[in-house]
Amino acid sequence: MAFTVDALVHTIDEHQRKHEEAKTRLADEAKQLRKRLHAALQACAIKAQSESASSDDTFIRRIDWCLEDYAESIKFMHNGDAIWSPEFAIMDIQGLKLEFFPNGKNTTKNPGFCALFLWCPAGVKVKYRLRVGSHWAESEEDEYRKIMGHGHSNFCLLEPQVNTGTNSLLVGVEILAISFVEELGGGVRLFNDAPEALVWNAMEVLQNRDMNQVQWTIKDIKKRLEEMPRGTAMYSRLFTIAGVRDMQIEFYPNGIAQVPGSKQLRDGWCAFYVRANDQGTLKLTFKVGETSRGPVGTSFERNQARGLPEFCDLSEELKNKPDMQDLMCVVKVENPRLEKEDDTFYL
């Protein structure tokens, strides 16, 4: 009899253990189903909104993601559990999304803090600010060399940011600047800058409007003379000065190539040219080392180069200054259309 009772107790205990395991498993499955359902409903809602809105995302710079029924959504979420926003596009860059950890992740050190990350595809360089509720983080600038997330493991204390009246939480990102590099294969890369770059270019024209002189320092000029045969040029970066955009200095350390049938050019003489995107007439003064030429009236058409094929004997310039390592090239621009002060812009 005692043996039979013990066997029944053991059987009951075993059934009870299996019952508890089944309950735990079902609770976990219900939790996962609830999370999937919530994500699916959010995706459907945002998809409907996006389909009814304009498809032009060129000037979209702010994304607000509202988590509704918030308390119910995170009821079964633990540390390390994330909610993903639907994917969105900015400036035709697809695949951006937000990853939100209501209870933080394993790298979250502050109790009660949430974590938030912005995911972008490879090739994106972006300056942005993340938000949860009314809390905005400082601006960040990240370059995505692969598909990954950048953000904060210790973003903010979450509870004060929840809107208890509507049982919702607002999560979002503001894009301050963005550019994209696309690899097409075969060594071809496409660079896509935001429209703000055009605005910055126009602002540069205003900013440098009162400057009328640019100095370009060419490093290790003796080495350049050895490396660059006649007919090869060095080009400065584009600059804006005296109200003229996209000017550029074109310098030939060993002179331009000899054209058959033309005047024989002297060996050792450098050539100096300027290109400009301007339809008017400018007065230009050129200077290489201690040798100055001009001012000369110059007009530009279709960004043609204007200058002198025989500017100065560069070997003499270097002979007079044997310790000189760097060569200074200067262009002074007088724009009759502007009244300006004498100022210098350094490349």
Find the CATH number of the domain harbouring 142. Answer: 2.60.210.10
The residue with greater pLDDT, 193 or 152, is: 152
What's the token pair of residue 252?
């030939």
Check: CB of residue 80 under 8 Å from CB of residue 95. no
Number of separate domains in the chain: 2
The dihedral over CA atoms of 24, 26, 32, 37, expressed in degrees to the nearest 10, equals -150
| Cα distances (Å, whole numbers) of residue 347 to 225, 230, 238, 330, 335 | 21, 25, 9, 10, 20
Decide which of 194, 218, 249 is a domain's last residue: 194
pLDDT of 10 strictly over 70:
no
pLDDT mean across residues, the chain? 80
Q: Using CA atoms, how far apart are residues 309 and 264, in angstroms rounded to an integer? A: 11
Check: CB of residue 149 under 8 Å from CB of residue 116. no
Residue 18 lies in a domain: no
Q: Using CA atoms, how far apart are residues 174 and 191, in angstroms rounded to an integer? A: 22
**Is 110 found in the same domain as 57?**
yes
**Is 209 found in the same domain as 181?**
no
Residue 48 lies in a domain: no
**Is 154 found in the same domain as 66?**
yes
For 292-339, write each residue's pLDDT tens digit.
998 888 887 766 788 899 999 888 888 777 777 888 999 998 888 775
**Is 298 found in the same domain as 232?**
yes
For 181-219, write each residue's pLDDT tens digit.
877 777 776 666 766 665 556 566 666 677 889 999 988
- Scanning the chain, the segments in alpha helix (DSSP H) are 2-52, 70-73, 196-207, 221-227, 314-320
What's the token pair of residue 141?
């600038």
Q: Using CA atoms, how far apart are residues 147 and 119, in angstroms rounded to an integer? A: 7
User: Given pLDDT bands bounded at 50, 70 and 90, which one contains residue 33?
Assistant: low
Sequence-distant (6+) residues with CB within 8 A of 230 are: 252, 254, 255, 256, 257, 258
**Is 212 found in the same domain as 186?**
no
Report the pLDDT value the prediction gives residue 42, as an integer from 0 to 100: 53
Residue 24 lies in a domain: no
pLDDT of 41 strictly over 50:
no
**Is 215 found in the same domain as 186?**
no
**Is 190 found in the same domain as 142?**
yes
**Is 333 found in the same domain as 290?**
yes
Query: Domain containing 57: what range?
Result: 53-194
User: Given pLDDT bands bounded at 50, 70 and 90, which one contains residue 178?
Assistant: confident
Q: What is the CA radius of gyration of the chain?
A: 33
Check: CB of residue 140 under 8 Å from CB of residue 183. no
pLDDT of 99 strictly over 70:
yes
